[in-house]
Structure 1
Amino acid sequence: MIAADIRHRIDKGWLKPGDRVPSIRKIAAEWQVAHATATKAVAILRAEGVVEAIPGAYTVVAGGPGGGRSGRDNSRERIVLAAIEIADAEGLDAVSMRAVAARLDGGTMSLYHHVKGRSELVGLMADTALAGNAPVDDALRGQARLESAARSLWATYRRHPWLTRFDLGGLRALPWLAAHGAPVTRGPADQGEGSVTALRHWVLLHGLVRGLAADLFGEKAMSGALGWFEGEETDLANEAEVIFDLGLRRLLDGVALG
């Protein structure tokens, strides 16, 4: 809702290219949401190329005079999206500053005006990809909320298999975990479970989703590996949705049993 409203303001011309976008603090106050939620909304707009960050300063509507030293084509958001495209097609190891510059038809050194190096770039890639998760419906509670979050994360891992290279510890520092994980764990807590138990449920679900995605779609996936189904050899990757649904249902049943 927040990202959609800001996008609407831009479409209507109320915010023009180069204008400052409301700060995280102002967004949180105006919509009465947590700072993590406001951060996620801005991250979505950045991933879409609607807004862009002025390094060390503020965020502006894309396309204006404040949109970076080398123009929008080499803005941080464009760099990150180009890197994601490379990783989606060729794997995370194929991502380098040189490869991204070539994809943008620019010079490698120009990228360093916006990104310090590959390490920061990879972190921004994960942040951006995870920010694209479908939001959890606030009306959902308990198992329904956990299931919605798990399916959203599963879809993200399928779109970006290289994300399976990050373990839960690697994702902990990213704004996504605060914006996405906390609302998920709130569901079981609402039903009388402690926050620690709710967090354990989320970690279990994350392990199921990431583990299956890594095995079936990751860089060391079992794609092409054959299993026996009803007397016939079948590529395990072709059974991905069935296997995921089975595992998710059994895990949620276990959560229900306490």
Structure 2
Amino acid sequence: MQAKAKYRKDYKTPDFTVTDISLDFQLHPQKTVVTAISRYQRLNPAATTLRLDGQGFQFASIKLNERHFLAYQQDGEGLTLDLSDIEAQQFTLEIVTKLVPAENTSLQGLYQSGESICTQCEAEGFRQITYMLDRPDVLARYTTKISADKNKYPYLLSNGNRIAGGDLEDGRHWVEWQDPFPKPSYLFALVAGDFDLLQDSFITKSGRHVALELYVDRGNLDRADWAMQSLKKAMKWDEERFN
């Protein structure tokens, strides 16, 4: 679907925002199940309609505050929720969607690239993963759990810090990431695959050790050092310039 032009003169502040979102990806190239649990806040007390962006996936279910929710209208570009009976200024939505990364040729959302599965969410790709307020002025904190075949996808990467992980009984494994800094949905990223890894470290002015990891396609490790050194120089400059 061709993107529609958007103009600043038409900008309106959102009636709702998302403060936190927890994503669970059960990854498989032929069938990926995504469960998104989002914390919404009503910014306009009089607002009774919530419009969510979404397309290109199979919609499985929606719950509001852990109860099945039926007051919605679905179309080819999103979901419209009737919240006229919801008085709470904060509420939680749980939305389950199903995707086929191997058949996604748009290079937007979640798709298969070679033997890896990855995302491209800028500028409006997140809406191809789940229903969301997919706009740059909605900033949320992301927690992402990824489960996948361990042999095929030994590395499971996403935004933020790795906080947990482990093996599952069926030859799969899982990793959970937490990003403490609110950000728009177009900055969300996920990559699952088998890569070469270049490791290094950076010591901040305060003496804190920061682990640096650079993942590259197999066979390209000898080409990664320039990028790593550039990263370290950029971090050093950022400290010196902005303290």
TM, length-normalised to structure 2: 0.28
More strand by share: 2
Question: Which structure is richer in relative contact order (CA contacts within 8 A, separation 6 or more)?
Answer: 2
